[in-house]
Amino acid sequence: MKNPTDQEIAERLINIISDGFNRSLGALEQANAIDTKKLRAHYKGIGSKFYDVVTEQIDYTARYGAPAMRELFSDDNTHA
């Protein structure tokens, strides 16, 4: 089994977390739980105000969580 680096795990987590955020946001909007008009006005891709805020937090979460995820691939995983 491959032992992925923290960087490789973080990159995958960024994609997974981003997808989860976007799907959740869409589901909340569709359920009329939130109004995203203001958000969407400033969430237009790289360089836009809210997109950069969200991306920064997703990146932080993925990098913070990568070492814990990598433990799952460790031969000396004593938490099993």
Residue 21 sits at the vertex; the CA angle it makes with 18 and 25, to the nearest 5 degrees, is 145
- Taking only the tens place, the pLDDT of each residue in 15-45 is 999 999 989 999 999 999 998 888 877 777 7
pLDDT mean across residues, the chain: 86
Please give the full DSSP string across the chain, using - where no structure is assigned: -----HHHHHHHHHHHHHHHHHHHHHHHHHTTS---HHHHHT-SSTTSHHHHHHHHHHHHHHHHHHHHHHHTT-TT-TT-
The mean pLDDT value for 40-58 works out to: 83
Closest CA to 11 of 59, 74, 48: 59
Q: Provide the pLDDT for residue 50.
A: 83
Q: Provide the pLDDT for residue 43.
A: 76
Q: Provide the pLDDT for residue 15.
A: 94
**Which pTM value belongs to this model?**
0.77
Q: How far is CA 33 from the centre of its chain?
A: 21
Q: Where are the domains of the chain?
A: 6-71
